[in-house]
Structure 1
Amino acid sequence: MDIEEALETAGSWGRFQKFMLLMSFVAGIPNAFASIHFVFSQYEPHHHCSYPEEFANYSTNRNGSTQQIVSTIIPLELNDKNEWVASRCKIYDRNYSKYPVKLWPQYFKSDNSSATTNCNDGVTWNSPSTENTAVMDFSMICENDWKAPVAVSLYQFGKMLGALSGLSGDWYGRRSMFSISSVMQVVFQAICALSWNYTVYCISNVGVGLFSLTNFILCFVLVNEVTGVRWRSVIGISSFFGYNFGYCCLALFAYAFQRWRIFVGVMSAAGALLYFPCCWFCPESPRWLAQQGRSDDAIRCLRRIAKQNNREKQFVEALRNANNHVTCKGNVSSTGVVETTRVLFKSGIAARFCAIAYGWLITSSVYYAFTIYSTDFSTDRFLNCLFGGLAETPAYLAVFPLMNYLGRPRTALLLMTLCGISGIVLPFIPAGLPSTSTFFAILGKASVSAVWYVWCSMSCEIVPTLHRSAALSICSAAARIGSFSTPYLMYTRKYNYFAPNVAMGIGTILSGILGITYVPETLGVSIPDTPQEARQNKRFFGCNIFKSFPKTTSQAGSRIPATEEERETIIQ
């Protein structure tokens, strides 16, 4: 009996798949904690160079305003919006002890022509005593402001390593590697909370990035492999809803725990509580077991599915008619690095795979730009995070019917175009139109959030089973290149405020065009088990986005015939 038929007989949508939907939702929550915590743990409170000791003593005995005197100490500078503001990292280089404090305005000019120097006597933080961030603990400011983007980039580097380690899911199984990566993510988050210096902080973030992406990929692949064609979109998007729920909860946790070590520690504990039942009850993929030639193990998993779906009697009867054997159509190939490279880049699916990988890259870059660096939702960072998470909810609700009506490539084109236009327009909106900025920020954030799921679905649906985790891993590695570059790209706003938005906007629209051109439509098509089946899908839109395709699957969910013999049998 073929694995696709076995899954349909055991039940492609029943109590088991509903449990997997819940597991996917729960497992997605801690991934948001790992990805978005930088918004709060690396928040930079307002600060300035510490005032001279003479002024500190003087100001404590004065009830009136001392702003005129302060202007002789702190110079003005242009910010990235071309506005004059008090400098955070410079102080006038003057001999303040030469004159009494009250005479400083008379003898010292408040202009930018005077020499300045760095904060040699340290900085003063203008923040509540209950607030503490990693930026404050590890001095990620002024001449050390490179430390903050480096920490984020190292986290993204860890995610890139995690993407590549997702290959292990094709070698050692989905369940075992999901469990190991979940435990290690929690451990490294705890180390992050206990970091005693900047080096340990960076290393722990690499570990968190590595294992958080590994378990996310494997969970997404697993739930797709145990679900029938009709319900694949529903169960696959559940992990994104879980991520979105964690995103919104993160703002509430950050508001409750404003000392970053406690905040990250609470995230680690919450992750442990959520991952434990997922690891304990998570099954292995019967599709992966069958492709590995482990027919008996696959049958045990399928019987478990059938029992939970109240279809054990039908499954046992069908299995008896198939001589108690479950197989996969086509030849079972190896899963080594060389074979995976050959299948993805030399077996006729290279163009479609590269188009999807580029979509991942640009989507990741834009997503993190909206998530970490945008303040267009609210000037309050807690509300900004909450509204950013809430903006994703209707996006995920809308993308499901869009994918089922327009298909995968057309939905990607629509969402990437909306996101690209929003990103380009945002920096050109005048400061006096906050509601307009909020509208385009929400539109862009919602579009880029929704298209994540489209790219993930297409990645799973064009690649054969034994290379599916590897494909998602390589695409995720491409995405990390995008997110790795985001901090530095946004850093260029200091020199040209509009350049990052325009560059990312153009790249985003281009990715949608590449997707519609090179990626075939997979709506209603069973996920392929072999390279032959993957190549068989030729349903390309090209320049005609209004093209329609005949249905290629039956109600039972049989796949596109992979060989000439199969097609001749069906015709006869």
Structure 2
Amino acid sequence: MGITEGLNYDEALTAAGGWGRYQKLIVLISFFSAVPNAYVGFPLAVSQAKVEHHCTYPSEYYNYTTENETIRQQIIATITPLVRNQRHQMVRSSCKIYQRNYSEYHVEDWPLVFPPANDLPVADCQYGISFSLPPAEENVRMKYSMVCNDAWKAVFTASLNSVGLLIGSMIGVTGDWYGRKPMFIAACVGQIVSQILTTISWNFASYCFSILLGGMCSLVNYVAVYVLVTEICAPGWRNFISIVSSVGFSVGYCTLGLLGYLFPYWRSFLGSMVVLSTLIYAPCCWYFPESSRWLAQKGKSDLAIKGLRVIARVNSRPVQFENALKENDHVIISKSNATSSGAIVALRVLFKAGIAKRFCALIYGWFVTSTVYYAIALFSTDFSSDRFLNVFLSGIVDLPAFVITFLLLTHAGRPRTAFLLMSLTGLSSLGLPFIPKDLYALKTILAMIGKGSIGGVFHVWYLLPTEVMPTLQRSSAMSFCSGAGRVGSIIAPYVMYLANTSDIAANAMMGTASLLSALISILWIPETLGVPVPDTAAEARGNKRIYGFKLLANFGTDGARQKKRRDSVKIDETEQML
């Protein structure tokens, strides 16, 4: 049995195995735990899908609207006024009715002679609202009447979920205090509880509370997996494992369409996700490990060494760590500094350590990406008119996008991939409103390019903070970035609400913001491909591999200099500590 002494963490991890059976177990956890994350928030695309509706006809006319199409159209014209839709076409209103005394007219005496409707006032649906779906396929929009004057409820609940995501992203800071594993388990349990409450909700208020709670717990465990991956895996495998999480999320998103088709009644649909989430999360929580790197940086050397022994044993590596990662060794910060991982301290470090521009670029990238992604995922109908197929296609288009993103990240690097995908997103958003409606195939292809690009770049933004930010501020930085993304997802429903009035304005906002993010990413964010994750702010600042406008620059030989620079920084910090 070899004895490895005085190692730094990266060397110790290499000795234990940076890629082996242990890391493959993490791959499985990252994939399966990502699937149920799509079951919080995104089910709104199915359960709150738009349903055709109209004002209920007076009871004495109802049977005649189904017997003869000619009579039906004449009755509809008599009862329902014409309005102009967002494309400036005249259509029958689904929320208004002519204000008449219908009891004065007897439908059995057809043809009826009504006074001209031109000068009649219109009113809200005084006899109620009828939906095109049968009661057995009732969804949440029908249950809580999220149409007409109450259409705000659908936008409100989507934003409420995002408010929960914003709160949850701040809760994610606790990952730097208490560890990655407690944060992961708490989020999994919270998601299941919120799904149960949503399924059994008894009124609109209880439904809103469950949506908020679900948002608070959603994606917190997703972030925990991303952070863990960067801390226990060799640099060359970080992109692969993290892309697996993204694929898992898309698989979960695709299954929403399938579950909706199999269980069209909304309570059955939501209940099926409770069962699947429980079955998936239970083994993931049991096998989810704590990060040895985090333990080492927190001064818990004994536990860190114990974790490295587990990695070495599972990977069948004959290594021991009795004298490695010593508390006074230059590779591990002292206990007096190990507690500097709170939110306030993290912000102070991120803005005063010479990496503020990078942090701001990540914040803005997250904000724009979340705004565009949620606007498309929750409200777009550019893929199919069928609500289940639309969700399925919206998710399936991400899978080839992730393969392309993986190849780009591996060969072109992080900032250039973000630049390319954000540019494609921006150009597709700007072009969509100008494609004629009759060119449906072209419109669908462009929409799929935009959806795939924004889905792929989401993975890039998840990966970058974990590789750019120092260890003790990593979870905090991810939480702040995620929080910015949640602000974007709060805005997304209102951007799409604007699209009801003007497609051009909504798409121009998303397209312009995406192109600006593409520019900032290439100017301010350094290349991290093949570079060890930084443990300290000084190491993070030492990465100067920024492309700027030299998109074809090659940093291939810079890895050795980067490693040497990191080692010299550690030695300087040790001398200052001593």
- Tell whether the structures are fold-level matches, with TM greater than 0.5: yes
Check 1:440–1:250 CA distance in 2 against 1; reply closer, same or farther (3 A cut). same
How do 1:264-413 and structure 2 match up within 5 A? 264-311=270-317, 313=318, 315-316=319-320, 319=322, 328-329=331-332, 332-333=337-338, 334-413=340-419
Which is worse superposed, 556-565 or 425-434? 556-565
Partner of residue 230, structure 2: 224
Cα shift readout 1:108-166 (whole Å, capped 9, x = no counterpart): 3355x431000122111121232111111112111111111100100000000010000
- Per-residue deviation at 1:5? 1.0
Partner of residue 108, structure 1: 115
Count of aligned pairs between the two proteins = 565
Q: Is 1:507 aligned with 2:513?
A: yes
Whichever residue aligns with residue 106 of structure 1, its letter is: V
3-state SS, counterpart of residue 97 of structure 2: strand
How do 1:68-147 and structure 2 match up within 5 A? 68-101=74-107, 102=109, 106-109=113-116, 111=118, 113-147=119-153
Which is worse superposed, 48-57 or 218-227? 48-57
- Per-residue deviation at 1:34? 1.2
- Per-residue deviation at 1:77? 1.4
Check 1:287–1:565 CA distance in 2 against 1; reply closer, same or farther (3 A cut). closer
CA–CA separation in structure 1 for the residues paired with 2:23 and 2:233: 7
Q: Is 1:472 aligned with 2:478?
A: yes
Check 1:564–1:36 CA distance in 2 against 1; reply closer, same or farther (3 A cut). closer
CA–CA separation in structure 2 for the residues paired with 1:347 and 1:463: 11
- Per-residue deviation at 1:56? 2.4
Check 1:551–1:456 CA distance in 2 against 1; reply closer, same or farther (3 A cut). farther
CA–CA separation in structure 2 for the residues paired with 1:62 and 1:412: 58
CA–CA separation in structure 1 for the residues paired with 2:484 and 2:22: 33
Whichever residue aligns with residue 171 of structure 1, its letter is: W
3-state SS, counterpart of residue 154 of structure 1: helix
Partner of residue 30, structure 1: 36
Q: Is 1:483 aligned with 2:486?
A: no
CA–CA separation in structure 1 for the residues paired with 2:133 and 2:315: 56
Whichever residue aligns with residue 358 of structure 2, its letter is: R
Q: Is 1:161 aligned with 2:164?
A: no
- Per-residue deviation at 1:428? 1.3
Which is worse superposed, 359-368 or 369-378? 369-378
3-state SS, counterpart of residue 49 of structure 2: coil
Check 1:393–1:558 CA distance in 2 against 1; reply closer, same or farther (3 A cut). farther
CA–CA separation in structure 1 for the residues paired with 2:48 and 2:331: 49
CA–CA separation in structure 1 for the residues paired with 2:188 and 2:259: 21
CA–CA separation in structure 1 for the residues paired with 2:367 and 2:259: 30
Q: Is 1:66 aligned with 2:49?
A: no
Check 1:63–1:350 CA distance in 2 against 1; reply closer, same or farther (3 A cut). closer
How do 1:406-485 and structure 2 match up within 5 A? 406-485=412-491
* Contact 2:78/2:114 (8 A) holds in 1: no
CA–CA separation in structure 2 for the residues paired with 1:439 and 1:256: 28
TM-score with structure 2 setting the length: 0.93
Give RMSD over aligned pairs: 2.3
Query: Out of 5, 13, 16, which is 2:11 matched to?
Result: 5
Which consecutive residues of structure 1, in runs of 5 or more, have no partner in the other structure?
A: none
Check 1:462–1:451 CA distance in 2 against 1; reply closer, same or farther (3 A cut). same
CA–CA separation in structure 1 for the residues paired with 2:442 and 2:68: 44
How do 1:501-540 and structure 2 match up within 5 A? 501-540=507-546
* Contact 1:5/1:558 (8 A) holds in 2: no
CA–CA separation in structure 1 for the residues paired with 2:282 and 2:563: 33
CA–CA separation in structure 2 for the residues paired with 1:295 and 1:57: 78
Whichever residue aligns with residue 251 of structure 2, its letter is: F
Check 1:27–1:107 CA distance in 2 against 1; reply closer, same or farther (3 A cut). same
3-state SS, counterpart of residue 85 of structure 1: strand
3-state SS, counterpart of residue 66 of structure 1: helix
TM-score with structure 1 setting the length: 0.94
Which consecutive residues of structure 2, in runs of 5 or more, have no partner in the other structure?
A: 1-6
Partner of residue 215, structure 1: 221
* Contact 1:363/1:452 (8 A) holds in 2: yes
- Per-residue deviation at 1:551? 3.3
- Identical columns (%): 42
- Per-residue deviation at 1:357? 0.8
CA–CA separation in structure 2 for the residues paired with 1:405 and 1:243: 24
Q: Is 1:237 aligned with 2:243?
A: yes
Whichever residue aligns with residue 477 of structure 2, its letter is: A
